[in-house]
Structure 1
Amino acid sequence: MDVIGRYRLQDQIGAGAFATVWRGYDDDLDVDVAVKILADNWASRADVRERFLSEARLMRKIASDRVVRVFDLGRLPDGRPYFVMDYVGGGTLGDLLRQGTLDPVDALWWGADLARAVAALHHEGVVHRDVTPANLLLRENVGIESGGGTHRIVLADLGLAKRAAEASGLTQAVGTPSYMAPEQGRGDGGFDERADIYAIGAVTYALLTGHPPYAVSSIPDVLNRDPDLLPGSLQPLLHDAVGDLDDIFARALAYNPTDRFDRAELLAERLEAEAYRLEQEAPLRAQERTSITDDEVSTTVATNPPVRRRRRRAWLWFAATLPVVFAAAGVGGWYLFGQ
């Protein structure tokens, strides 16, 4: 299969249970494109074909540069449908995660950018239902400089996405367990946009730590999770720089959706504030970690000496005044010094 319609297929860039995605080229428009084709083993299923085409229609209707745009669809000679999208060539957030944990500031900026992207989807009345690192594309040469360079997160794979009004009536548990909200795992239709907010929290937590917040790999794992279990503290990673992050993730990943952030924008604002705080504090913390030699040689800024240097100065002051203290107060000076 080399040509579909006017599109020349070049290489496969993705594959799932229901479809494959190819990078192609549109000779007429002189641009790279992405072509999503229904897998041949599902060609005879009318319900699967309709769901595939519903994804294309939904993506076409969403007027946001935060969602991959569909601009053409058609059928192969064997009847399988395909649709053509903008090609987003910066890889995925999953690719970044496989390279190892990110710098905490970058991870938080990415999380905030993700929350902004999902908020754009929610503004269109759509719940994604499968926010995972593999479904988050990175568009190059746009975005905020401090948010992971010059990339921006773009949502893709809306195969499970539904209008919010429809999502509340769904009765099938679908999604990726590691990033799935508990109410979504129950499959009773009782979920809304806050299920996506849970997923944003789970993805951002994984960017910070290298793993999802809870050790779940199946729907039963999601259902059997202890409702009182909180995500692991970030204190071992960030030490005294953890700030409000543990509270933010406890809220975003709350078992009960009523305890979560009501809107994705609110989570974005909190993550942005923490990223900015860490950026501002980083030089001071690096300064405090600067070692001091026995000769009192230090690279710290004199106007804001780190804790270790202040303690050294206190020691020298006590040493200089110790004879006077003993002379004036006898044994009482020892207790003063010991404090």
Structure 2
Amino acid sequence: MGSPPQIDGYSYVKLLGRGGFSDVYLYHQQLPNRFVAIKVLRTDALSEALRRQFTAEANLMARVSSHSAIATIYAAGVDAAEQPYLVMEYCSGGSLGARFRHAPLDLADVLHIGVRVASALESAHRAGVVHRDVKPANVLINDYGAAVLTDFGISAIADGFPEATRIREQAYATQSTVENDASALGMSIPWAAPESFDDEPRIDVRSDVFSLAATLFSLLEGRSPFEVPGASNRGVQLMARIQNGAITPMQRQGLPQAVVDALLIGLNRSPEHRFPTALAFAQRLQQLERELGLAPTRIEVPSSPNEVPAADTVLRQGPTSDTSLPAPAATRPAAVTELTPSGAVPHSTARVPRRQRGWVVGGVVAAAAVVALVLGVGIPLALNSFHPPAPTATTTAPSDLVIDELRVVTDDDAWTVAVPEDLAPPTALEGKVLVDGESSTTITDSSRVSFGYDTAPWNYGGESHLSPPDSGSFDTAVASGRALSQFLGVDLEGLPVGTVVIAAAPQGYFAQHSPLDAEMTTQIVVVRVNALT
């Protein structure tokens, strides 16, 4: 982990989250007096490509973050150690990444979130920006209980938009684009559109529509659309199901069929059969709110000269207002109507009461940064009110990690990892050394490390029994010292062979972003460094 940067006018408070290439910290800004989240690209990850991507993220977020449903970026710079950083809005409500696994959300809340995020995406699309990583972990809850979209770190400039070339030149100051392969993009498989996995991906606004539909499906169902309960849900299996359109049917009772149908339109594996724009999706969700007796959520999009606003659509003047844009979905209702599996939605006689919007952070969940990172998730609980406590600035070390609350019992026959019943998973990758190695051979970033590992799920109130790390019964794998450090969240440089590390992460991280043969449910790993080869 890198050191918190020293930035004039800001006081370090604590670590909020860690990822493979960047860290997020809570700082107190002196003027104006507020708490902010600062995302730092670590010096050990400073390749030219990552510098360009980080710069692009700053420019892209600055372009679109004036929208009420997009996290705000305040400033960007480089500290004395040449670490690039972004200063952003701090959201104390956390993300939806782990919340939906813990307990699915209320239908009214999901529709409200869907309209807000779709509005944010439509606004970004009109600026020529395709997000490409919409997922629950990238939807955060701010201090007012409102959902905001974050993490434009792998966004693309869409060629099909007016002035896209000019926008690309402004956003990517180096005149270079970010690598287009999946590993460089860090895309999140469970919510990615099938065209993302093509040899020559054709990503456009409909790809974001797919990912938003997959996100809303997850919030309602408690799992992503292509996960099969009880079956293997590794990345390879998920990709195959996504490309084949093999959606696992929703099991939640009481969902109106019209809601399911709308999600299935968004999840169609053929882009031409989805909602053509994020605005069209927002309007469909808004229509469902009305038909279910809910107060419709306002749609906020930039205005354009040729646009005919739909009812309950708020038009905001912005820098794109003088640009000729494609006609919005409001002028093309037939395009959506033809795609609806069940046709028009019948008016419901049952009225679902709209709850007052609000969120409360539950249990031991630490408030998350607005930058969810590739790994960042949180657990806001949907309740009736939210009054976030103001964090207290301190110059002491960061508070204990969630992983410190795990109870690890070691003996000769088995290791036991117990998860307290009320302990939520970490909101980002966490790791620590359990056993110090005794060898005189030490690890370097360039070492080729042979290691053994065992895995466990986050078993609330239960225990997982693992093989003793030195028993020889661990699964084995090989990685560079640097790569192993990054995916464990522990700096292994200089540590001896024989070192044992425990790491925990949000669900899906180890299956998608590590060299382990891990399930989507794997959230705890124990690794022993066996040898350097």
**Superposed pair shares fold, TM > 0.5:** yes
Counterparts of 1:164 and 1:106, CA distance in 2: 30
Relative to structure 1, the CA distance from residue 195 to residue 187 in structure 2 (aligned partners, 3 Å threshold; closer, same or farther) is farther
Q: Write the deviation string for residues 86-123 of structure 1: whole angstroms up to 9, x where unpaired.
A: 22222212253244011222222222222122222112
Percent identity, please: 27
| Structure 1 counterpart of 2:158 | 164
Q: Which has the larger radius of gyration?
A: 1
Q: Residue 221 of structure 1 aligns to which amino acid in structure 2?
A: L
Partners in 2 of 1:202 and 1:130 — Cα distance? Answer: 11
Q: How does 1:268-283 map to 2 (within 5 A)?
A: 268-279=282-293
CA distance in 1, matches of 2:141, 2:150: 10
More helix by share: 1
Q: CA deviation at 1:230?
A: 4.1
Partner of 2:253: 237
Distance across 1 between alignment mates of 2:12 and 2:53: 24
d(CA) in 1 for partners of 2:265 and 2:83?
44
CA pair 122-285 structure 1, distance change in 2 beyond 3 A = closer
* 1:196 matches 2:208: yes
2:41–2:85 CA contact under 8 A, matched in 1: yes
Structure 1 residues 187, 156: CA separation in 2 closer, same or farther (over 3 Å shift)? farther
Deviation at 1:182, TM superposition (A): 0.5
Alignment partner, residue 62 of structure 2: 60
* Candidates 28, 31, 36, aligned match of 1:33: 36
8 A contact 1:105–1:279 mirrored in 2: no
Per-residue CA deviation, residues 256-282 of structure 1 (Å, 9 max, x unaligned), is 111100011211222222234334658
TM-score (normalizing by structure 1): 0.72
Is residue 260 of structure 1 aligned with residue 274 of structure 2?
yes
C-alpha contact 2:53 2:178 (8 A) present in aligned 1: no
Deviates more, 1:107-116 or 1:247-256: 107-116
Judging changes above 3 Å, is the alpha-carbon distance between structure 1 residues 187 and 169 closer, same or farther for their aligned structure 2 residues? farther
- Stretch of structure 1 that moved more, 219-228 or 180-189: 219-228
CA distance in 1, matches of 2:234, 2:92: 29
Q: Partner amino acid for 1:195?
A: S
Deviation at 1:28, TM superposition (A): 2.0
Q: How far apart are 1:3 and its partner, in Å? A: 3.8
Write out per-residue CA displacement over residues 193-226 of structure 1, whole angstroms, 9 at most, x where no aligned residue.
Answer: 1111001100100111101110254266314546
The structure, 1 or 2, with the larger RCO (C-alpha pairs under 8 Å, 6+ apart) is 2
2:110 & 2:261 partners in 1: Cα distance?
A: 17
172, 183, 189: which one aligns with 1:177? 189
Query: Partners of 2:260 and 2:71 in 1: how far apart?
Result: 32
Counterparts of 2:178 and 2:29, CA distance in 1:
40
CA shift digits 1:158-198 (9 cap, x unpaired) = 11011112899974123100000000122513120111100
Q: Secondary structure at the match of 2:132?
A: coil
Aligned equivalent of 1:154: 148
Is 2:79 aligned against 1:76? yes
Structure 1 Cα separation of the partners of residues 200 and 266 of structure 2:
21
Once residues 351 and 120 of structure 2 are traced to their aligned partners in structure 1, the CA distance between those partners, rounded to angstroms, is 32
Aligned-pair distance for 1:229?
2.8
Give 5+ residue unaligned stretches, structure 2.
Answer: 169-176, 228-232, 295-347, 354-533
CA contact (8 A) 1:66 1:120 kept: no
Give the one of 214, 217, 222 matched to 2:239: 222
- Are residues 1:90 and 2:93 paired? yes
> Secondary structure of 1:85's match?
strand
1: distance between equivalents of 2:31 and 2:278? 39
SS in 1 for 2:253: helix
Mapped partners of 1:98, 1:92: distance in 2 = 12
2: CA distance between counterparts of 1:84 and 1:218?
33
Report the Cα distance in structure 1 between the residues aligned to 2:52 and 2:33, rounded to whole angstroms.
Answer: 30
The equivalences for 1:88-167 within 5 A come to 88-141=91-144, 151-165=145-159
How big is the alpha-carbon RMSD for the aligned residues of Structure 1 and Structure 2?
2.8
| 3-state SS of paired residue (1:51) | helix
Partner-residue secondary structure (3-state), 1:10 = strand
Matched residue pairs, number? 273
Task: Pick closer, same or farther for the CA change 1:91–1:79 going to 2, 3 Å.
Answer: same
Aligned-partner Cα distance in 2 for 1:220–1:86? 37
Corresponding residue number in structure 2 for 1:332: none
Q: 1:72/1:232 Cα in 2 relative to 1: closer, same or farther (>3 Å)?
A: same
| Structure 2 residue aligned with 1:205 | 217
Structure 1 CA distance for aligned equivalents of residues 180 and 352 of structure 2: 50
The answer to which of 195-204 and 89-98 deviates more is: 89-98
- 2: CA distance between counterparts of 1:253 and 1:237? 20
When residues 209 and 22 of structure 1 are mapped into structure 2, their CA distance, relative to the original with a 3 A threshold, is: same
Contact kept, 8 Å, 1:178 with 1:214, in 2: the verdict is yes
Larger strand share, 1 or 2: 2
Amino acid across the alignment from 1:13: L
The 2-side partners of 1:99 and 1:220 are apart by: 23
Unaligned ranges ≥5, structure 1: 142-150, 287-339
Q: Provide the rounded CA distance (Å) in 2 between the counterparts of 1:284 and 1:26.
A: 46
Q: 1:263 to 1:6 in 2, by over 3 A?
A: same
Q: What residue identity is the alignment partner of 1:263? A: T
Aligned to 1:328: none
1:285-332 CA distance string (max 9 Å, x none)? 99xxxxxxxxxxxxxxxxxxxxxxxxxxxxxxxxxxxxxxxxxxxxxx
- Whether the 8 Å CA contact 1:198–1:253 is kept in 2: the answer is yes
